[in-house]
């Protein structure tokens, strides 16, 4: 006669332990929380990098030049000058620089949807957005694309590591 928690099936005896099951459930939840936490940190880092790109468009001199002038009998002096992206090209160039920040926000929303609602569509949308950002990196490889690669990498990691939540 089987006792509580023990299932005797003849050749094999299975012992049901609620503590073992709950320990396994807790361990799986811990791994899921750890992956979710890393995904949130990498998404936050991607957003921070994107905001730094926008700030850099206003503050970092990317176009250089120089002006030379002679003063009497002395050597020619050269004054180095630099212009930022916005000061030389206007505010229209902020749009492509701000695109990674917008994509990062959209990926965060998609991953939040995946985790909180258990929606695989949220994960698929995040992958599509990450793919578009990688395409942006390739198209703009000789301009801003190389500076966007860290954002795309961090978002790809976040998308890979975000666990599917329960509905």
Is residue 144 predicted with pLDDT exceeding 60?
yes
Whether 78 is covered by a domain: the verdict is no
- Measured distance CA(125)–CA(108) in Å, rounded: 10
CA distances from 15 to 27, 86, 119, 145 (A): 20, 70, 35, 58
The answer to whether residue 120 is domain-embedded is: yes
Residue 56 and residue 140: Cα distance in Å, rounded?
A: 17
Location of structure tokens 């976040």: 158
Q: What is the pTM of this model?
A: 0.71
Is 145 among the domain residues?
yes
The per-residue pLDDT for range 51-63, each reduced to its tens digit, is 999 999 999 887 7
Contact residues for 103 (Cβ-Cβ < 8 A; gap 6+):
129, 132, 133, 136, 151, 155
For residue 143, the enclosing domain spans 34-60+89-161
pLDDT digits (tens, 9 = 90+) for 87-141: 888 888 899 999 999 999 999 999 999 988 888 899 999 999 999 999 999 999 8
Residue 21: inside a domain, yes or no? no
* Structural domain contains residue 114: yes
Domain count, the chain: 1
Q: Which two tokens stand for residue 47?
A: 């957003």
Q: Does the residue 65 lie in any domain?
A: no
How high does pLDDT run on average in the chain? Answer: 80
In a domain, 69, yes or no: no
On whether residue 167 sits in a domain, the answer given is no
Contact predicate 136/124, CB 8 Å:
no
């Amino acid at each position: 006669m089987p006792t509580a928690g023990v299932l005797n099936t003849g050749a094999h005896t299975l012992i049901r332990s609620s503590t073992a099951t709950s320990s396994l459930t807790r361990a799986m939840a811990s791994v899921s929380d750890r992956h979710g936490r890393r995904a949130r940190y990498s998404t936050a880092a991607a957003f921070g990098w994107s905001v730094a790109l926008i700030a850099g468009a206003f503050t970092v001199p990317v176009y250089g030049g120089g002006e030379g002038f002679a003063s009497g009998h002395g050597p020619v002096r050269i004054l180095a000058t630099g212009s930022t992206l916005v000061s030389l090209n206007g505010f229209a160039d902020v749009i492509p620089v701000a695109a990674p920040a917008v994509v990062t926000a959209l990926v965060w929303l998609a991953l939040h949807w995946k985790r909180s609602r258990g929606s695989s569509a949220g994960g698929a949308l995040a992958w599509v957005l990450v793919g578009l950002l990688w395409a942006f990196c390739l198209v703009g490889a000789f301009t801003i694309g190389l500076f966007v690669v860290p954002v795309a990498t961090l978002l790809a990691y976040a998308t890979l590591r975000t666990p599917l939540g329960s509905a």
